[in-house]
C-alpha cells in the first residue's frame, strides 16, 4: 500500500476553482476553516483549474484568477511551507487517473448528480461532457493522494459519496489500492447565499451585486450589503424560508464573529434593517482588510508565488506518480 504524504498525520484534500475571484461564500464556507486544519493534518489545497474549464473561461482572466487564488490562500493564512498548494494542471496524474476512473464509473451514477443538473440548467448553451464527468476528476484529485478526509459543504457531499463508491469498487476488483475517503466533520462553514437572490448560494462566477469578493474595496462591500434583498416586516430573526435575506445577513455576521445564530439574533433584534446592514458590512470589512493588505503585498511578488507553485507541484507529482503507478500495475497498463 502506498503511503500518504508523510508521518502519521491524516491527509486532507480540498480545492477551489479559479473560475472567478474568491467570494465571501468561498471564504466563510471553506478557506477560513482550512486555516485551522493546517497544523493537525497533512493538507493539500489545490487550485482546481481544470475543473473550471467545464464553464467557458476568458483565458487571460483564468490565468490571472489562478495565480490570485493561491495568493489569497496565503493571504488568508495558509502557510505554503505547511500545506501542499499547487495547480491541478501542473500534476498531469490527475487527468491520467481521471480517465482510468471514468472506466469504473457508471453513466447512471453521474446522471444522478444534482450539481450536473443545476449547472446544466445554468449553462444550457454549453452542457459539455466535462460538466458531466466533473465528479470523476474530483474523485481522482482525492484518491490520487490517498486522502483520508475531505472537508465538504452540503453541495459536495454527493460527489464525495461517488468518490467513495469508485474507490470501494476499484479495491474490490484489484485489492486494497485507494483509501476510502471520509467527509471531514469539523466546524462546518456557513452556506452563504446571494445578496440579491438569497435563495441561491453566493457564487464567485456571479458578478452582479449578488456576490462579495474578497478583493472588493470597502465602499463596494458597503454598497453591495446596502442593496441586499431583505423583506418588509422589519424583524431581525433567523428564518431561511420566510426571511432568506435577513437570515443570510445573520449567517454572515455570526460566521465572522463566531457567535451563534441565537446570540446574533439576540444582539441585533432591536436594530432596523439599515443598521443591521451597516453592522454586517463593518464586520466583513474588518475581517477582509488584513487579508487584502497581505494579498496586495503578495501580488507585487509574482516570482514568490511562481516558486511556491513550482516547488509544491514537484512534491505533489512525486506522491501522485507513485500512486498512479500502483494503479497502472494493478490494471495492467504497466
Q: x/- binding map, residues 139-178, to ligand AQP, per CB under 6 A?
A: --------------x-xx----------------------
Site for ligand AQP in 205-264 (CB under 6 A): 205
**Whether residue 122 lies in the annotated active site:** no
| Binder among 146, 201, 224, 277 for ligand AQP (CB under 6 A) | 201
CB 122 to ligand AQP: min, Å: 8
Q: Which long-range contacts (CB under 8 A, 24 or more apart) does 233-240 make?
A: 234/272, 234/273, 235/269, 236/265, 236/268, 236/269, 236/270, 236/271, 236/273, 236/276, 237/265, 237/269, 238/264, 238/265
- 94 binds ligand AQP per the rule CB under 6 A: no
Using CB atoms, what's the residue nearest to ligand AQP? 29
- 68 binds ligand AQP per the rule CB under 6 A: no
- 26 binds ligand AQP per the rule CB under 6 A: yes
What are φ and ψ of residue 27, in 5° steps? -70, -55
Contacts of 62 (CB under 8 A, 6+ apart): 18, 19, 49, 52
Residue placing its CB nearer to ligand AQP in the complex, 153 or 183: 153
Is 110 in contact with 135 (CB distance < 8 Å)?
Answer: yes
Q: Which residues pair with 13 in a beta bridge?
A: 44
Cβ atoms within 10 Å, residue 50: 19
Residue holding cell 474490490?
A: 172
CB 328 to ligand AQP: min, Å: 28
**Whether residue 334 lies in the annotated active site:** no
Contacts of 197 (CB under 8 A, 6+ apart): 210, 229
- 32 binds ligand AQP per the rule CB under 6 A: no
Q: Count of residues binding ligand AQP (CB under 6 A)? A: 20
Residue placing its CB nearer to ligand AQP in the complex, 141 or 327: 141
**Whether residue 277 lies in the annotated active site:** no
Is 14 in contact with 48 (CB distance < 8 Å)?
Answer: no
Q: Strand (E) positions, the chain? A: 11-16, 42-47, 83-87, 149-151, 182-184
Instruction: Give the span between the Cα atoms of 187 and 34, in whole angstroms.
Output: 10
Sequential DSSP letters for 163-179 = HHHHHHHHHHHHSS-S-
Instruction: Give the span between the Cα atoms of 305 and 87, in whole angstroms.
Output: 11
CB 48 to ligand AQP: min, Å: 6
Of the residues 10, 32, 67, 119, only one is catalytic, namely 119
| Binder among 4, 21, 23, 254 for ligand AQP (CB under 6 A) | 23
CB 100 to ligand AQP: min, Å: 22
- 191 binds ligand AQP per the rule CB under 6 A: yes
Instruction: Give the span between the Cα atoms of 271 and 274, in whole angstroms.
Output: 8
Residue placing its CB nearer to ligand AQP in the complex, 115 or 171: 115
- 198 binds ligand AQP per the rule CB under 6 A: no
| Binder among 75, 149, 202, 291 for ligand AQP (CB under 6 A) | 202
- 204 binds ligand AQP per the rule CB under 6 A: yes
- Which three cell numbers, joined as nine digits, stand for 311? 516547488
Of the residues 32, 201, 224, 243, only one is catalytic, namely 201
CB 171 to ligand AQP: min, Å: 26
How are strands ordered across the β-sheet holding 42-47? 83-87, 42-47, 11-16, 149-151, 182-184
CB 214 to ligand AQP: min, Å: 11
Report, as residue numbers or ranges, the catalytic residues: 119, 201, 204
Query: Can you give the binding site for ligand AQP, defined by CB under 6 A?
Result: 16-17, 19-20, 23, 25-26, 29-30, 153, 155-156, 189, 191-192, 201-205
Amino acid at each position: 500500500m502506498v503511503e500518504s504524504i508523510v508521518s502519521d498525520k491524516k491527509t486532507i484534500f480540498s480545492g477551489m476553482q479559479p473560475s472567478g475571484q474568491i467570494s465571501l461564500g468561498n471564504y466563510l464556507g471553506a478557506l477560513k476553516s482550512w486555516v485551522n486544519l493546517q497544523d493537525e493534518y497533512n493538507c493539500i489545497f489545490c487550485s482546481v483549474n481544470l475543473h473550471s474549464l467545464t464553464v467557458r473561461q476568458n483565458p487571460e482572466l483564468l490565468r490571472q484568477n489562478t495565480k490570485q487564488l493561491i495568493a489569497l490562500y496565503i493571504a488568508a493564512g495558509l502557510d505554503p511551507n505547511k500545506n501542499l498548494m499547487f495547480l491541478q494542471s501542473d500534476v498531469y496524474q490527475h487527468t491520467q487517473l481521471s480517465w482510468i476512473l471514468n472506466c469504473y464509473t457508471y453513466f447512471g451514477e453521474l446522471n444522478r448528480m444534482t450539481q450536473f443538473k443545476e449547472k446544466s440548467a445554468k449553462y444550457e448553451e454549453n452542457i459539455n461532457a466535462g460538466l458531466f464527468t466533473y465528479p470523476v476528476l474530483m474523485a481522482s484529485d482525492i484518491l490520487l493522494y490517498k486522502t483520508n478526509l475531505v472537508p465538504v459543504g452540503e453541495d459536495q457531499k454527493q460527489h464525495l459519496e461517488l468518490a467513495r463508491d469508485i474507490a470501494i469498487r476499484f479495491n474490490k476488483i484489484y485489492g486494497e489500492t485507494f483509501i476510502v475517503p471520509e467527509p471531514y466533520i469539523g466546524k462546518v462553514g456557513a452556506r452563504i447565499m446571494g445578496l440579491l437572490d438569497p435563495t441561491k448560494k453566493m457564487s464567485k462566477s456571479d458578478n452582479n451585486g449578488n456576490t462579495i469578493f474578497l478583493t472588493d474595496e470597502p465602499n463596494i462591500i458597503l454598497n453591495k450589503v446596502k442593496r441586499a434583498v431583505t423583506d418588509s416586516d422589519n424583524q431581525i430573526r433567523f428564518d431561511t424560508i420566510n426571511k432568506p435575506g435577513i437570515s443570510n445577513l445573520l449567517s454572515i455576521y455570526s460566521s465572522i464573529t463566531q457567535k451563534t445564530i441565537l446570540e446574533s439574533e439576540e444582539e441585533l433584534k432591536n436594530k432596523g434593517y439599515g443598521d443591521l446592514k451597516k453592522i454586517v458590512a463593518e464586520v466583513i470589512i474588518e475581517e477582509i482588510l488584513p487579508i487584502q493588505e497581505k494579498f496586495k503585498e503578495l501580488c507585487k511578488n509574482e516570482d514568490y508565488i511562481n516558486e511556491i507553485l513550482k516547488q509544491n507541484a514537484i512534491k505533489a507529482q512525486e506522491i501522485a506518480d507513485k500512486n498512479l503507478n500502483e494503479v497502472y500495475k494493478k490494471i495492467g497498463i504497466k
